[in-house]
Amino acid sequence: MSAAHRPWRTDPHPPAWIGATQPRGGVLGHLAELHHDPLGLFTRCAREYGDLVRLRLGPTRMVLVSHPALVEDVLVTRHHHFHKNLNRRLGSALGNGLLVSEGSYWLRQRRMMQPAFHRQRIDSLAETMVSVTKRALDGWHANPVRDLYLDMTDVSLQIVARTLFGIDVSPDLQRIRQSSQVMTDHLRSRLFSLAMLLPDNVPTPGNLRYAAAIRDLDRLVYRLIAERRAIGHDRQNDLLSTLLQDRDADGQGLTDRQVRDEVFTMMSAGYDTTALAVTWAWVLLSQYPEAEARMRAEIDAVLGNAPPSAADLPRLPYVGSVVAETLRLYPSAWAIAREAVCDTQIAGEPVAKKSTVLVSPWVLHRDPRFFEQPAAFRPERWADALAQRLPRFAYMPFGGGPRICLGSTFAQLEIVLLVTLLAQRFRVELTDPTHPVEPIPVLTLQPSRPVQVAVSAR
């Protein structure tokens, strides 16, 4: 036990440690370091200063919490003391969709959409996921060198559009991709910098490009809503129809703007999560050939050339472990931010109103107290029910608490199916394994460069 730390809340797992000292920053606090390398800064602070670290980002006060018990305090025990603080940065794009809304409106929308994500319904969508993916993979033979992330983005976007909204976005893929990239670049340029204080309505060149990208996607989404209203939404059984049919106590339905916000949110969040997970899985498998060989052997033994289904997942435990380990090293949400709406406390430490509290699954998932050799890709670690033995919130690739990702089951099924289909059809190798693909944290962990792979038929 270090005299510089005090333990908080003992239980069967290693306790949280509250540091006696805090990191010192410059004139703007830790803003420069955070803008340059947020993953490195958060990891260093957690390892050197304890599980509750205070940082200053210009005028913003931040509290980094890095122990499962403290995370539970924020996301569950005191969750009413904290709200998401994404609205100021994402409100212009996502409106008041499920990802950024709060209070009774958020609860109503989540309850309304929950049935679309029940496991039985999700399992029924596996056949569509497989057929969309197989059709896309059929075209890979013509071009054996591919940008894997770009390809997986297109496939995942088509799957989300088809399964959740009953629409075909194939003719619009390039348009969606280009506008989405503009939005991602805009958010990345502002993340952890003073530029984040600049409102989106100030007519700078970057803001104008961002606004044009949103308008372009708006035209697409509003067109899809109008087409569905025209053909009759009561004939369909998907999330878009659910949104269009919903009525409040006064019999009022959602406006086109409200429907747009939810469609925009689900499509944006849904496709990128899967595309990134599949991409990172193959980046890792290309670096660990023994794991890839073991995965392929399991798929061959269980399925042969037969396409996978939801019912096959229990028979593919190692593929599931590959996905779980990928999401440990490259979690869908690398950071989860909350803003204190009142003066409160975490682990007995005061937290002032309007402070930003940050939980980083990137840091939690690489904590040696809970994961042996945390930087290594070891799918076999998930054998023997590791997930059940870990403390709650030691592993949280899709968040946690009441705001846990609604589509996590959908995403996990899709990721396993796509990884399996790729393994059945192709050998996938990085074209330049000596040039590492590093993660760039935006809202998700984006690859630092195009993930060029050489694919060859098995």
Structure tokens at 126: 């596996």
Q: Return the domain boundaries, the chain.
A: 5-457
- The domain 5-457 having CATH identifier 3.40.50.10190: the answer here is no
Closest C-alpha to 53, from 11, 8, 20, 15: 20
Query: Which residues, 6 or more positions from 15, have their beta carbon under 8 angstroms from its beta carbon?
Result: 7, 8, 9, 67, 69
Between CA 66 and CA 247 the distance in angstroms is 42
Q: Which residues pair with 437 in a beta bridge?
A: none
- Taking the alpha carbons at both ends of the chain, their separation in whole angstroms is 54
Helices and strands: H and E segment counts in the chain: 17, 14
Between CA 137 and CA 135 the distance in angstroms is 6
Instruction: List per-residue pLDDT tens for the chain, 458 residues long.
Output: 343 455 555 455 788 888 888 888 777 788 888 888 999 999 999 999 999 999 988 778 899 999 999 999 999 999 999 988 655 556 677 788 888 788 888 888 888 888 878 888 889 899 999 999 999 999 898 788 999 999 999 999 999 989 888 888 888 888 888 888 888 888 777 766 666 667 777 888 888 898 899 999 899 889 988 888 888 756 667 888 888 887 777 777 888 998 888 888 888 777 889 999 999 999 999 999 999 999 999 999 999 999 999 999 999 999 999 999 999 999 988 999 999 999 999 988 999 999 999 999 999 999 999 999 999 999 999 998 899 999 999 999 999 888 888 889 999 999 999 999 999 999 999 999 888 999 999 889 999 999 999 999 98
What value, to the nearest 5°, has the Cα angle with vertex 154 and ends 278 and 205? 110
Neighbours of 250 (CB within 10 A): 5
